[in-house]
Every structure is written in C-alpha cells, then in structure tokens.
Amino acid sequence: MGDKLLPYDPSILNQLPAIVKAYQLPDTRKAMVQMLTSFGPFVAIWIAMYLLLDVSFWLVLPLAALNAFFLVRIFIIQHDCGHQSFTPFRKTNDIIGQVCSFMSFIPYRYWAKSHNFHHGHNGILWEHRDIGDIELLTVNEFKVLSKWEKIKYAFFRSAPILFIIGPIWYIFVNNRLPLIRLKGWEHAHRSLLMNNIMLVLVHAGLVWALGFKALLLVHLPIIVLFGIIAIWFFYVQHQHETAYKQWKDKWDYIRAAVQGSTYYKLPRLFHWLTGNIGYHHIHHLNPLVPNYQLARCHHENPIMDKVANSITFIESLKCVVNKLWDEEQQRMISFREYMRRYGQKKQST
C-alpha cells in the first residue's frame, strides 16, 4: 500500500476500538517469556562484549548493534509497564518498569507521563505538540519565522541532528531535566530526580565492580545505538508523508490513531526485536493492548490492512525529507517542495 492518502470512512473507523479492545488483556505467561527473551540475551551479549574488550574493540561494536535491539525490547517492556498493559498487576508493572529504566536511561514515571500525554494529543496542532513528540511546524508557521529562526528549524530538522545528535541529547540531557512545566507534573518531576539519583548509583556500582571501560566501551555504545533506533522508529511512525495533523477543534482521536500512526511493515525478526512497535496504529487505537498482542490483533482482523497507513523500510527512508506539515495538501512536505510551491508564490506577490 505504501504511504498514500487513504479514504477514511467514519463508519469503518468507528468499528476499530471495539475490535482492538478484545486484545487488551495482559497475559502473565507471555509477559514473563518476553522478559526472559529480552533480558537473557541482553545480559549474555553484554558479558561477551566485556570479555572481548581485551581482544579488540572492533569485535565489540557489532555486538553493541545487536544488543541495542535487545535494549529496544527491554524499553518496550518499560513502555508497556508505563501504560499498565504489560502484566495485570500495577505494582509489578511499576517494579519492572523501574528496572528497565536503569538499563535504557529513560526515566520510568516521567517518560510514561509524557508518553501518555502524547497518546491523548497525538496529531493536535497546538502549543504543546512537542511533548512526547518531535517538534514540527506547519507551512504557515514556518512562513512567518525570521530568517534566523528558519535556519535554526532547518538545522534541527536535518538528518544528522534528528537521528544522530538528537538521540544522544534526548537520552543524556533531555530526559535528565524536568523540562515539561505543566500544572500537575510535580510528582513526575520528583520521580525524575529520584530516577537520576538511582541511575548514578547503579552505574557507579557498575564502574566500581567492572571498571570505567565497562561503562564507556560496553554500555555507552549500546545506549547510543538504542537511542538512534528508537528515535528513527518514532519519527517514521508519526512524521510519514500522509500523517494526520489537525487543530484541536477539528481533531479526531480514532483518525489520529490510525492515519497519524504507521504500520511499519518489517521482516518478522525485526518486529520481534523491536517489540512489535511497528504495529503502531493498533497501539494508538488502544495503548492497553500489550505489545505481544499487537501482531495478532492486526493479522486476525483483515480490516486493519485496509485502514493501516502501511510503510516498508525502503519507503520509510523517504520520510527523512519530511520537514513541514502542509495544511493545504494535508501531508508532510520537504523544504524543496516548500520553496517550489510557496517560495515562488512569495516572489510573484
């Protein structure tokens, strides 16, 4: 199907929440199996990387790339715990989520709150659209910026910043600071402070036990590569060409979930390595569906293939040029298309 405009029939869309709800019950056995198949390989590969440091760092790096995917699986467990969807028990979810956060460097409660905010406001064009999402401007908003502000925005939206520097900044700086200053976030700010303290203690213990090189040459490469993978997936899932962006008074939750999120069609192995987060349309329809139920929900209901904004890996590479939301065309456009369509208009006037 690819990233194409789809006919979104309200009578069809309104059937989807009831279909998806049938899959929202957590399964303790599946949750435990996922923990074993995520934490087990991660720890084993981590130990192998540490032992190979004395042989060659160039043998360590390929393993870091592989282990970054297992850290993605661990983070998806943390993500589901934040939605209280991983197991049927809130306290168990919170404990597992906290443990995962010490490995992912993503604070459990603070991030979960911002992510749940994202779910409730996905695709709304308003002043808080950057909470839990990547900053995006509309064509009209970009037009009125000063030249310097346009340069800054273009720099931010460049591929090296978004997909290399950005993930590093996001994990090590953005997620360490209480940058969201909305009413009702005081508890989340305190939990972030506690997470930072615990993170320092946990990794100080790692350095004490195994030496500084274990942190610098083993865990750091995994974290950086994990961040790049995670940001790439999030970008593709919400900033594809035919996404859904609307002002608050016209916004529709179901359409934002289905059209505003992609079905990232990947080989089965990569769906497994990334905790099925490629089935993002279903996750946004109902975040209470555990990640280990998403694929089954999609494939058991043919209607999902009809409505999903599906995109392959090759097609997703084109998303890199998406820079602005064009309200006239209701799609993402590149800076080149902006200049062709709107730069010429400005000159002619």
**55-95 pLDDT tens trace:** 999 999 999 999 999 999 999 999 999 999 999 999 999 99
Where in the sequence is the domain holding 309, given as residue range(s)?
10-348
**Is 5 a member of any domain?**
no
What is Dmax (Cα atoms) for the chain? 68
**Total tally of structural domains belonging to the chain:** 1
**Is 2 a member of any domain?**
no
Q: Which amino acid is at 210?
A: L
For the chain, where are the E strands, in sequence order? Answer: 137-138, 262-265, 309-312, 324-326, 331-333
Letter string b/e over residues 236-260, b meaning 16 or more CB atoms within 10 A of that residue's CB: bbbbbbbbbbbeeeebbbbbbbbbb
User: To which residue do tokens 């974290």 refer?
Assistant: 223
How much is the pLDDT for 349?
A: 44
CA distance 199 to 118: 25
**Is 301 a member of any domain?**
yes
**Is 169 a member of any domain?**
yes
Residues 6+ apart with CB under 8 A from 46: 67, 218, 219, 222
Ranges in the chain, pLDDT < 70: 1-8, 344-349
**Is 54 a member of any domain?**
yes
What DSSP string describes 226-273?
HHHHHHHHHHHHHSSTT---B-GGG--HHHHHHHSSEEEE--HHHHHH
**Is 1 a member of any domain?**
no
Cβ–Cβ under 8 Å, residues 11 and 248 = no
Region of 240 please: left (phi>0), alpha (psi -120 to 50) or beta. beta
**247-304 pLDDT tens trace:** 999 999 999 999 999 999 999 999 999 999 999 999 999 999 999 999 999 999 999 9
CA distance 328 to 287: 31
Helix axes 186-210, 108-121, angle to 10 degrees: 130
**Is 118 a member of any domain?**
yes
**Residue 185 DSSP symbol:** -
**Is 305 a member of any domain?**
yes
Beta carbons within 10 angstroms of residue 349's beta carbon: 5
How much is the pLDDT for 10?
A: 79
How much is the pLDDT for 343?
A: 81
Cβ–Cβ under 8 Å, residues 161 and 265 = no
